[in-house]
Amino acid sequence: MRAPVIKVVLVGSPNVGKSAIFNHLTGRYAAVSNYPGTSVDIAVGQFSCNGHRFEVMDTPGLYSLIPLTEEERVTRLLLAKRRPDVIVHVVDAKNLKRMLNLTMQLLDTGIPVILNLNIMDEARQIGMMIDIVRLEQLLGIPVVATAAVSGTGMGALTKAISQYQVIKPVFIPLNEQIERSVAGISALLSRNYGFDQRSASLLILQGDESAVAVAQTEAAWPDIAAAIKQLPFRPDHNLGALVAAARQDIIDKLIAQTVVYAPPGCRERKGLAPWLGKVTRKPLTGIPILCIVLYCGLYQFVGKFGAGYLVDYINNCVFIPILIPVAQGAVNAWIPWEWLRSLLVGDYGVFTMGFRYAAAIILPIVGTFFLAFAVLEDTGYLPRLAMLADSVFRYFGLNGRAVIPLTLGLGCGTMAVMVTRTLETKRERLLATFLLSLTIPCSAQLGVVLALLSHNPAAVILWSGYLLLIFAVAGRLSTRLVPGHRSAFYMELPPLRLPLIRNVIKKASTRMTWYFREILPVFVAASAVLWAGDRSGILAALIQYLQPVMGLIGLPPAAAQAFLLGFFRRDYGAAGLYDLAAAGRLTDMQLVVAAVALTLFVPCVAQFAVMVKERGPITACIMVALIIMITFIAATFIHQLLQLGLVLGLAGGIV
């Protein structure tokens, strides 16, 4: 009979190294980034030790058992429903004082806890010395120091997890008044709260919505409510704040007995990182730095190198002169049926169009974007960008946290919509999803557009300027029309670090593999549908139906096909636009209009499916309808402006 699998859950605030710990324990890769909000879903892996099998779960960031964001709700629900055998609380050792509050909350759940002091190397750099043995004695649980990026201490952590049976559930009592209240409420609880009655009582005292909702179904709810009202606190006091203050008093005593700092002269030199960290988040210096990052990372590396050089080489030097003729020769020699030959290597063939678009046009662009984005992630620049953007985003009903999904949208809109879960309020998630779907191009779109417009800087400025204007107008109007409030901005600010090359390459290659597996079936299916539409005449009818619309926005009739392709995937439509431009069928002015319209156009099938899942089918369909309307109104307006020559300074060189 097989031994039962022991459930281990990694819990901790964002950006403390949970995913790096997960990678070391299981050998399975989970995205490791130097910014909060990487883990939105739960990664699961296994390892064996001392004859036992352990299932390890890497959870989204958690600041408190009273959740504010969707990622915190996911982790809270996992702890309550799955009831793991042991919790590994991963903390940033530098911020031990702030993070012990969650440790105490986890101890109250009645689940065995291991405290993992991660990033110890950086703690030592600032002269911080922690008496781990003394901390173990005071907390009554195992405490293990690690530096997960280098693997230091991982053996000790694995050993501590394998000895989970000897870890006894403990809790640290708070002050006498709170403990008396907790004892009184605990005696009245009979429902299943997912945690021990002590933890449930504390959650009820602090006004946690889910705990109070369960408590209200208790037969003894009137007695519980009366017990809360009889607490010896003034009515104007917040009970949650009083509980937090009681915990903080205990934490202050723990820190005083276990942590010391070396004299300044004995600490390691900090170098330029702290200074760079400050200048990147100040508007006067941060905005020029952002412009440099966008120019070097997106325009030069993704646009010119990825979408320009790499796509040109793979498409025009490998696929068109070599692979496609070989494939056509083999198919014509071995397959007698004309319809099947056409399906495989015809104008809309699954190889000549579907596979070529995916491998020769889209993958190089996405790959260069993921490389650039991985570097930005691991340096710790993105949280600073969030701080820089907070004052601007407030005008759109968002805060700086929205930078993370909006920036991820430049890679993949599907992934970015999922990451909107990290935003606190339903209103913010709705606004971010709409702006993502309307104005943020995915990396394939972005790369193709930049490559097509890069020969004319005025065209790039016009395209980006129009998008920023539409983003601002749509965001401001959405803020006025969607009820709700903007949440307060808070975010972990990691130190700036030099990214590890192996981590950047592994992360980018993992995302590229995931992306290619996702898009290839869609591209093949899309080319097959287009082939069927071409054979049946439906495609010609649809294109003919769209041609008047293309005429309104000043595009040739053939551009209708690129927009039809965009229904399957935005990047598929961008690839169609690339073919049109390569054939010389678009003027510079038409390129600007087409680039704006295709960027604003409806989200791809995969992104729309996630929108339905995250925001609901009615909301997702309303968003798509609004996006279609805005797209063609904006494209018509831009076309008329360029035609009339009203944008004299920049449009003159284009018209």
Rounded to whole angstroms, how far apart are CA atoms 575 and 353? 10
**118 annotated ligand-binding residue:** yes
Rounded to whole angstroms, how far apart are CA atoms 648 and 587? 18
Structure tokens that stand for 544 in this block: 């003919």
Question: 386, 504 in Cβ contact below 8 A?
Answer: no
DSSP string, 361-403: IIHHHHHHHHHHHHHHHHHTHHHHHHHHHHHHHGGGT--GGGH
**41 annotated ligand-binding residue:** yes
Query: What is the enclosing helix (H) or strand (E) of 209?
Result: helix 209-215
**554 annotated ligand-binding residue:** no
**14 annotated ligand-binding residue:** yes
3-state helix, strand, coil in the chain (%, to 5): 65, 5, 25
**110 annotated ligand-binding residue:** no
Residue tagged 């073919």 (tokens)? 579
**37 annotated ligand-binding residue:** yes
**18 annotated ligand-binding residue:** yes
**60 annotated ligand-binding residue:** yes
Structure tokens that stand for 619 in this block: 């909301």
**120 annotated ligand-binding residue:** yes
**391 annotated ligand-binding residue:** no
Rounded to whole angstroms, how far apart are CA atoms 208 and 154? 35
Strands 52-58, 113-118: pairing kind: unpaired
Question: 577, 531 in Cβ contact below 8 A?
Answer: no
**161 annotated ligand-binding residue:** no
Enumerate long-range contacts of 463-470, CB under 8 Å, 24 or more apart.
Answer: 463/592, 463/595, 463/596, 463/599, 465/650, 466/592, 466/596, 466/634, 466/638, 467/439, 467/596, 467/599, 467/600, 470/438, 470/439, 470/600, 470/630, 470/634
Strands 259-261, 128-130: pairing kind: antiparallel
**173 annotated ligand-binding residue:** no
SS3 46: strand
**487 annotated ligand-binding residue:** no
Question: 84, 9 in Cβ contact below 8 A?
Answer: yes
Residue tagged 């909107």 (tokens)? 420
Q: What are phi and psi of 180, to 5 degrees?
A: -65, -40
Among candidate residues 536, 392, 525, the one with its CA nearest the CA of residue 471 = 392
Residue tagged 């890069």 (tokens)? 454
Strands 143-145, 113-118: pairing kind: parallel
**13 annotated ligand-binding residue:** yes
Residue tagged 């394939």 (tokens)? 444
**51 annotated ligand-binding residue:** no
Helices (H), 83-165: 96-108, 120-125, 132-139, 154-162
Question: 645, 655 in Cβ contact below 8 A?
Answer: yes
**150 annotated ligand-binding residue:** no
**397 annotated ligand-binding residue:** no
**576 annotated ligand-binding residue:** no
Q: Helix crossing, 197-205 with 176-186: angle to 10°?
A: 110
The annotated binding site for GTP is made up of 12-19, 37-41, 58-61, 118-121
The annotated binding site for Mg(2+) is made up of 23, 26-27
The annotated binding site is made up of 12-19, 23, 26-27, 37-41, 58-61, 118-121
